[in-house]
Chain A
Amino acid sequence: MKIGLVLKELHRSENDLAHELLQVSDRHKVDHEIYHVARDLAQWSQRHVKEIAAIAERYGEKLDPEPEGESHLAERLIDKGSELMGRAKTPGLLMLRDLRELYMKASGVSVDWEMLAQAAQGIKHTDLLEVCQRCHPDTLRQMRWANGKLKEASTQAIVS
């Protein structure tokens, strides 16, 4: 059975997604909706990390329940950069690139949840299935958010 492996991979990619959301948040501090919402959404992935770690033991994997943090020094440097860049025109394109990356990462996580849910149904592990049912909708919302922001921001960033 390879459920442990999938959980380990999902643990890694949720941590990665949370980190990316925080990074994007910091890079776009002057785009306030991105800044605040990305931070809120990072917490969802951090919660998922805990849930994955909690259930992974049953499948023989020891995973860290604490989500990876962020470097505070690096954060502050990025903040400053973000403020300075706020008056330039290029951040629009940078933001599109960041949102695209978020969308791709969230899509990857979503597919992982789907695979895991399929497996959980197959072997009738309702606890695992419940974790999937609790977490996967959050991932879909993260995806739709990145996609929605992309749609909203593309025109102005590209045509102006």
Chain B
Amino acid sequence: MGRVDRIADVWGTRTPYGQGETWPTRVDTHLEEGLGPEDVDRWVQTASIMHSNGDALDIAVKDDRIVGVRGRAVDRVNHGRLGPKDLFGWQANASPDRLTRPLVRKNGELVETSWEEAMDAVVGRTKELLEEQGPSAVGFYTTGQLFLEEYYTLGLIAHGGIGTNHVDGNTRLCTATAAAALKESFASDGQPGSYTDIDHADVIALYGHNMAETQVVLWTRILDRLAGPNPPAIICVDPRPTPVAQHATVHLAPRPGTNVALMNGLLHEIVANDWVDHDYVEAHAVGFEELAKRVKDYPPERVAQICDVPEADLREAARLIGTADRLMSTVLQGFYQSHQATAASVQVNNIHIVRGMLGRPGCGLLQMNGQPTAENTREAGADGDLAGFRNWSNDAHVEDLARVWNVDPMDIPHYSPPTHAMQMMRYVEEGSIRMLWVQATNPVVSMPELNRMRSILSQERLFLVVQDIFLSETAQLADVVLPAATWGEKTGTFTNADRTVHLSEKAVDPPGEARPDLDIFIDFAHRLGLKDKDGAPLVKWSTPEEAFEAWKECSRGRPCDYSGMSYEKLRGGSGIQWPCTDEAPDGTERLYADGKFFADPQYCESYGRDLITGAPLEPDEYKAMNPSGKAVIKFAEYLPPHELPSEDFPLQLITGRTVYHFHTRTKTGRAPQLQAAAPDVWVEVSATDAELLGLEEGDLTEISTPRGSVRARARVSGIREGVVFLPFHYGYWDVGGHEPDGEGRAANELTITDWDPASKQPIFKTAACRVTKVGAGGGTASPAPTTTASAPLAGDVPPTRGGAGADVDEELATAGGAR
């Protein structure tokens, strides 16, 4: 057993292994200072809720308090490993500033009240609005951090009970494009690949995916392959010098907003060199001829110019991808939050289709998630979808959902796709949505253009309900604040990006009067008197396990089929991948083996959209295009981004997540080791730009776009020239308020209100900006970590260290690894 400072050494100790072998286990444990495993009263099974990887872990409980965590060696996802956020983030649960009682606004102030009064206010206003205007007045903006059971209940209440079409999650900001890209190519959501594909792949391509920081443990798996025999080649597409880029065989750093040109260039090479599996394409796909014709417009010399990448690198990347035997690809925010998000991500799917790289070990395609339970909002229909991947424009699917819920099909709005979050904010702005219920998310820090967002959500005429565990920036604007329980304080299930479902058990009681989100929703439904068509209560369950059983029935026969699972089966062992049915009782490792898709016109979740205009395809159009349910190859031409650099704003701004913080730092900012590692916002500039701007490490700068400005200390890093980076986690709750008092700090003060027309995901990675020096650093370094993409190029910057409080026990397997 070794002890490792896991703030300094983010990925921990190597356990090398070779292609096709089993990843050895390494059990990571972190307990409160002074405690050993023998002091723990009980270990409670769960998985991480700080990222989308789905690391399984046990919570250590002593005297009815959470005192630490330990990775689960038996788990298929992490084989015992944990990342820094898993190891230290749990401490936030016990923060003294947790919300413990409901609050209501009286004379402009939020004051403590009883649940009775708070729920009366919420239910009373809902009733008034339903009477006055109908369901179009009520919107729900949820999260990627509740449990499956809670989303399913919320979707039922909102869609089937109230009948509003306005339900979405903040997954719109993180994984809407993953879902959209999968729906375009395979006519249904659901990631084809499995994390075990890392064990088998010979080429791994990461597109806009800083896996090293967003999915630490998954990256550890790749590091272990790289340290073993027959390591895979890595392709990295990212304008930043991420750890992925540093380990890459080829690193492409395209100019922000040019991903589609880059992908079309790669496909051009694959087609031109005939690295195409023609038999597979012939048998299992439609649309290849059009693609082959259109990518002719994207020869490497032209693409190299658009993207500003070396032509030779582009050709080499295409050669590696085009000649791989087992190709694995992952995609994340570098594509999803950028210009032409869906179109670029779809081209990654196209590569796998034309190369016949689906449904076999090592041929993983993973359109990743950003948040831990993002997959569940999608499955359960709480984020602009209908429950169970049902197709809103297929009447038979709506009727089937009505049967499951025992309501009339007309009670479920399906006249258009469920309203997406950005459109909901627009309806709030113009005043037609008059009540917005926000759960476990923080739009006044996470949405684009914060000045606009604050002015929208602080309107007098809006009734804002916020359900959360802290008084976030958004909660400070609310009319009613409902204190929720969180991970470790309630039971439920959630699903990661490779469809692995984990059970998360309650370990301790929530503080004060805080309640599980499920209980809050059910209480609301009952108080509102929501009934099914026979007059029975609409929500027929009261516990998480009952909700899970109801969900299993709803999912039966759909792609995300949970019918073969149970809490009992999930308990004790490892996670299980859906679909899990009577025929596949242990789950399904990979989708689309033998080229069988969920794309039949009568079965599919979506008929798709135009990648440029976003217009949905009509059912007849889809049937004509794809009568026998094959994979769909779609092309899109490159369009320049909507905001280009100018004389006033000569640089391009990208924003993003970093390894120590998560989702507006609500929890991670309250975990001492994580907070100390990256205590404040910084800005990354390239050496060339730093010289032009006269900037040195630690200098105070102002970063401005047409929408606002932010102040941050400069880090001169290896980022590509012309591009600056701001981490997007920093808001105002910990500097005393919900908005800047003078100087701005949140990256989203600067971002443009613009989104991808197909996925409706906002674009955080192409704003034009300028950077000006405000003051000399005077020897003070920027607060940027030295351990990851923000590492300094030079200078004597003190290295990021966690110290004694960040020591973690690592227990390495002596031989091989148990599954």
Contacts and interface: CB of A to CB of B under 8 A. Distances in A.
B660 to A, nearest CB: 32
Contacts of B423: 33
Contacts of B610: 141, 144-145
Which secondary structure dominates chain B's binding surface?
A: loop
A86 B456 CA distance: 11
B803 interface: no
Nearest to B643: A36
A91 B430 contact: yes
Contact of A86 (B417, B429, B755): B429
28 contacts: A30-B429, A31-B426, A32-B422, A32-B753, A33-B423, A33-B614, A36-B642, A37-B613, A37-B614, A37-B757, A39-B642, A40-B612, A86-B430, A87-B429, A87-B430, A87-B431, A88-B430, A141-B613, A145-B614, A148-B613, A148-B614, A148-B616, A149-B615, A152-B417, A156-B419, A156-B432, A160-B136, A160-B137
Contacts of B416: 151-152, 155
Nearest to A149: B615
Contact of B136 (A39, A144, A156): A156
B748 to A, nearest CB: 15
Interface in A39-85: 39-41
B237 to A, nearest CB: 24
A147 interface: yes
A78 B420 CA distance: 27
Contact of B430 (A32, A37, A89, A148): A89
A159 interface: yes
Given A41-B613, A92-B430, A155-B415, 8 more contacts: A33-B422, A33-B755, A37-B757, A40-B612, A86-B430, A88-B431, A141-B613, A149-B615
Interface of B: 133-134, 136-137, 165, 415-417, 419, 422-423, 426-427, 429-432, 610, 612-616, 639, 642, 753-755, 757, 760
A88 B136 CA distance: 16
B639 A40 contact: yes
B429 A33 contact: no
Interface string A138-154: 00011011011101100
A142 to B, nearest CB: 8
A92 B432 contact: yes
Contacts of B639: 40
A33 B430 contact: no
B614 to A, nearest CB: 7
A30 B422 CA distance: 11
A159 B754 CA distance: 26
A81 to B, nearest CB: 15
Contacts of B133: 159-160
B755 A32 contact: yes
A33 B757 contact: yes
Contacts of B134: 159-160
Nearest to B416: A152
A6 B137 CA distance: 49
Nearest to B427: A156
Contacts of A33: 422-423, 614, 755, 757, 760
B754 A36 contact: yes
A143 to B, nearest CB: 9
A148 B753 CA distance: 21
Interface in A70-125: 86-89, 91-92
Contacts of B755: 32-33
Nearest to A43: B639
Contacts of B760: 33
A160 B615 contact: no
A135 to B, nearest CB: 14
A144 B615 contact: yes
